[in-house]
Structure 1
Amino acid sequence: MAVIAANVETYLHNKAFAAMKQDHQHIPESDRVDQTQKSGDDEGGNLEASMTPDLETRRLLLLPPIVADAEQIQRIFPQWEIVKYLGKVVPWPYPPDGAMTFLRDQMLPSMKRGDGWAWTIRLKAAPARIIGFISLHNREETHRGFWIVPEHQGQGLMTEACNAVTDFWFNTLNMLVLRVPKAVPNIGSRRISEKQGMRLLRTEERDFVSGRYTAEIWEITAKEWNARR
């Protein structure tokens, strides 16, 4: 009986998981990011691969954001433990329309242009719930950013997400180097860079939501990344 119950639970979970992905794909035209293909290279990248795909890891589903995600993000993002080491560009206190403004006016247009790629982070065990966000940007020295809700920090989930999008950066977009800045007190983020085999390039002063700190710039090249895989 235990085996039958386990099989039924697995079946129901997989059915719900598939339905959630299908619902996310069949979104209104007004919410959809029209990521037309572009030609040309920038910083060694192949922007013909500008479409942002769904990504999966052992425990996570990474889905490109849509406008409808703003409501959920607005509920979970404005927490001090999330924002304190993010760049000063993040408004604080966070405005009531902050998530909508970010998605509608910044992230989704960047994805449409093909110079940004982003994903909401969800547990496969609870795919309807957003627990974090991760993005890539084709701009100088700030190529990746991320956050995850406090209750899911310290579980290796962000490392999984970072590995998936870093592989996408190098082996789908064909970028040559990944550089990420982080505040020195942000130990958790530093550990992810260390796990990924990145090296400290230099330090500089930068402004963050919680104040001005020494920032570390970490780097890894495509050759170094693929040698570790």
Structure 2
Amino acid sequence: MFTHKINDDLSLKLIEIRDAEKIFELTDKSRGYLREWLPWLDHTTKLEDTIEFIKICLKDFAENKRFNTVILYKGKMVGIAGYNHINWSNKTAYIGYWLGEEFQGIGIMTEVAKALTNYAIHELNLNKVEIRAAVENTKSRSIPERLGFVNEGCIRQAEWLYDHYVDHVVYGILAEEWNKSR
């Protein structure tokens, strides 16, 4: 099983079926908060929905298309992060993440995104990492901005969120830029 220690308090662990109950509880506890920016909350209403999500993640992991982890903070499961897609022909990883509401604002996700970017570039030998966030999702946008990602532009009406479209800002960093900044 894959685990990656980021620091004394923070690590990433490959998502597993046995994590389903804790992930569902965390999702359910933060449902109102997460629903503002994540389109899948209304389709995750029971434990079986989370189990199905994990099965898809593991299938895609086995096929080398995706890599999702649970975020462990002081031993407690606090969110999900990983590569929602890996484009091997273009050597690009697309990072996605969410964090339980009570764990916001203490730098967890910045450290996680930094670790995932570093892993993509140095371990997977990818050339680029992208993070996309809704234009108005300032908390999520601040993460790639803090890490030195370049704002590459806006995709209009990129995502349907329950009853409206949201535009996405695309952030990217190239391996050479990441290595220079470190």
TM-score by length of 1: 0.70
Aligned to 2:22: 72
Residue identity matched to 1:134: A
Aligned to 1:200: 151
Mapped contact 1:203–1:217 kept (Cα < 8 A): yes
Residue identity matched to 2:86: N
1:8-42 superposed Cα distances (whole Å, 9 cap, x missing partner): xxxxxxxxxxxxxxxxx5xxxxxxxxxxxxxxxxx
Mapped contact 2:93–2:120 kept (Cα < 8 A): no
SS of 1:114's partner is: coil
Mapped contact 1:85–1:208 kept (Cα < 8 A): no
**Shift of residue 95, structure 1, vs aligned partner:** 2.6
SS of 1:218's partner is: strand
Aligned to 1:132: 79
SS of 2:114's partner is: helix
**Shift of residue 61, structure 1, vs aligned partner:** 1.6
CA distance in 2 between counterparts of 1:171 and 1:142 reads 12
**Shift of residue 93, structure 1, vs aligned partner:** 4.7
The correspondence for 1:82, drawn from 34, 38, 41, is: 34
1:168-197 superposed Cα distances (whole Å, 9 cap, x missing partner): 111100111112211011111111011110
Aligned to 1:30: none
Aligned to 2:126: 175
Aligned to 2:108: 157
Structure with the greater alpha carbon radius of gyration: 1
TM-score by length of 2: 0.87
**Shift of residue 76, structure 1, vs aligned partner:** 1.1
Q: Which has the higher contact order (CA 8 A, sep 6+)?
A: 1
CA distance in 1 between counterparts of 2:151 and 2:110 reads 18
CA distance in 1 between counterparts of 2:36 and 2:172 reads 23
Residue identity matched to 1:73: I
- Compared with structure 1, are the counterparts of its residues 173 and 209 closer, same or farther at alpha carbon in structure 2 (3 Å cutoff)? same
1:221 aligns with 2:168: no
**Shift of residue 113, structure 1, vs aligned partner:** 0.9
Structure number with higher strand proportion:
2
Structure 2 unaligned segments of length 5 or more: list them. Answer: none
**Shift of residue 116, structure 1, vs aligned partner:** 1.3
Structure 1 unaligned segments of length 5 or more: list them. Answer: 1-24, 26-52
Q: Which has the higher mean CA deviation after the structures are superposed, 135-144 or 145-154?
A: 135-144
Mapped contact 1:84–1:208 kept (Cα < 8 A): no
CA distance in 2 between counterparts of 1:116 and 1:93 reads 20
**Corresponding pairs, count:** 172
Mapped contact 1:92–1:209 kept (Cα < 8 A): no
Q: CA RMSD in A?
A: 1.8
Residue identity matched to 1:214: D
- Compared with structure 1, are the counterparts of its residues 67 and 167 closer, same or farther at alpha carbon in structure 2 (3 Å cutoff)? same
